[in-house]
Structure 1
């Protein structure tokens, strides 16, 4: 055999012994490289297999948790659980256990969809609820009718189960929205105070947050944008939403905290989407609202309506005079007016 040009046979023809030695050496090297490549691929495939197994296990775990949630549970937690319990006693609104025994399914669906419409129709039971709870209506549902049925079915299933050990009896059963149409149950306890004793600094911080002097951490809108409160320190507020002077009397500390922490009202949900209040901000606002409610009889906010109207007229008059004085120095004619006048004059002369 002739291996011309090869690095192992540059001298010409190899002998039989050298040829066998060369092929044995080359074969060993090839086998070593093949084994090395196979080991590397095995380790790679092993890692892929482990990752795949973990992915499948985690996916099955997530699917199991997702499937474990009963239909209507998520919607109940989001929209109803803020104000109500099922067999746990009064929270902000009445206990929903046994609601199907008090009203028929069709009535419940209509009331959850739009309590305002049912009350406006003159329904005796709905009007009674409305009167019992200080004429505060539950926000209309933002979910389709199918979800309303799932929520009501979830309430029925939960009501048939043993009541939780921790009832809402420890919470302030303030006057609340009669969501999901339970039997009238007027509040019997006094409004609850914030969890810890508020200081003057807490009240001042809450006042600043309410009127927008201090910005919220997540840059949410200030309360005064939509709400008014009777307080000498606050000039005035918006009229889009409820007046908050007696909010502690109507909802209690627990109710106000629940609304600030996870509001059930669509307008507030949109305004604070992705901008939740911190625990410190919630406590400061609670402190201010409680203090304002306790002292509202001693507050004498001024009527700014007449003053603002007069100041508006006076300001407009001053601006008109100022503009007139500035207008006197204006250029009254066009740029070529003087040239035109000279030409006319020379023509007549």
Structure 2
């Protein structure tokens, strides 16, 4: 008896991820889950330099600023609740010092500029189509930073709004990096603060726009744009609350691991998967805590682990433990 539906997946035909790849990941919390996995297995990657970004307009704005090297100035940051903030970025960058915040923001502009130009793969995960606009500036914000809600208006981006934003993102990136592989996906995290029905409307708009932009490039015989079904795997293959964390909103670690395995199956080169197995053995070995550190058996274990580590680092100079 088959008690689970499975989404048919096929391995991408070219431009797969290996240990020479350079990966940039942008978007919602879920992209950080994938980034953590890539980091654990020692791939070259940069994850959300500006923190979590939930909607396409926020990603579009920061990509454009980074590629134009448009640095932040004092007039673009503000003081609230004993910290300096910027509406374009996540609160993890907020800082008690205005100068340090500006320094961090502009360092991330530089890092993003270089990563966008050299990336072989860019993974973009969208979480919501709901956007808040600052009433004073009439600009969309990436994060409200707990500023009173009366200072914002809330809008659901239309499919056309999202499509135009994604098209602009692709055009901006391709202008400086023509061969980069862009992988779009919709986050399986439920944005229930917006409301149950509102969350489903939001996800529907994101899905419709993403598929439109990917299909439009396929019609031009451009295979550098792809869609990975993170959201659908969560909704259909993992259709059970036991695959959610205690908040019943975020995927559990089991669900993250499951979706990661699917991503690896589609996007990671077979030879790289063999290297991942070696990395995993070393990572687990480094976490090992012996009962008797001075025993002969443990000393032999440490020497063997050291030799494995040096051998892998010699074969792949970008891998560092």
TM-score (norm 1): 0.21
Q: Which has the larger radius of gyration?
A: 1
Higher relative contact order (CA 8 A, sep 6+): 2
Provide the TM-score with structure 2 as the length reference. 0.22
Give the number of the structure whose residues are more often helix, by fraction.
1
The structure carrying a bigger strand percent of its residues is: 2
